[in-house]
Amino acid sequence: MIKITNDLLKSLSAEASTSARKRKNHNFHLTESDPLQRMLNAVEPRSYIRPHKHINPDKREVFIILKGRMAVVEFDDKGVITDNIILDASFGNFAAEIIPSSWHTVISLQSASVYYEIKDGPYDPKTDKIFADWAPDEGSPEANNYLKSLIQKIV
């Protein structure tokens, strides 16, 4: 049995807060070839997850908030926001599912936020994501300002 406890969430958030990327995942699937990828993601504010989509093969992705507050944002092919939701259990917004081939990102809006992610497998780091060419690279000087602009548009 896989158990998700408050201690696990706290530990994962502590690791995320001290990591360079301000996030940490914890996989439940045993291999990258598993047809159903399941994981926890602890993400701190100011962690930039570059907008991307999953194709070849197309993959669905589900985000379920366990702790904190996160935004899930979808975009069109030009980078215009087409939909978003603030995941926050205290407001009754528990989850979002991204359809295959949809540009998207996840943004932490509160420290110690953790979500459960379910994604079609298998996972191949070479082909898992296609990054949006209209969004700055992670770690680039423009990334922080882009992240701030997204937050201003959705909050």
- Domain 6-154 -> CATH class: mainly beta
- Residue 62's pLDDT band (cuts 50, 70, 90): very high
The predicted-structure confidence for 20-35, as pLDDT tens digits, reads as follows 999 999 999 999 999 9
Q: Is the pLDDT of residue 138 over 90?
A: yes
Rounded to an integer, the average pLDDT of 78-96 is 97
Alpha helix ranges (H) inside 19-140 = none
Write down the pTM of the prediction: 0.95
pLDDT computed for residue 20 by the predictor? 95
Which residues, at least 6 apart from 56, have a Cβ–Cβ distance to it below 8 Å?
Answer: 127
Q: Amino acid letter at 50?
A: R
Contact 121, 34 (CB under 8 A): yes
pLDDT computed for residue 126 by the predictor? 85
pLDDT computed for residue 127 by the predictor? 85
E strand map for the chain: 23-27, 36-43, 52-53, 61-67, 70-75, 81-87, 95-98, 103-108, 113-120, 130-131
What are the structural domain ranges in the chain?
Answer: 6-154
Contact 49, 43 (CB under 8 A): yes
Rounded to an integer, the average pLDDT of 129-138 is 97
Q: Is the pLDDT of residue 125 over 90?
A: no
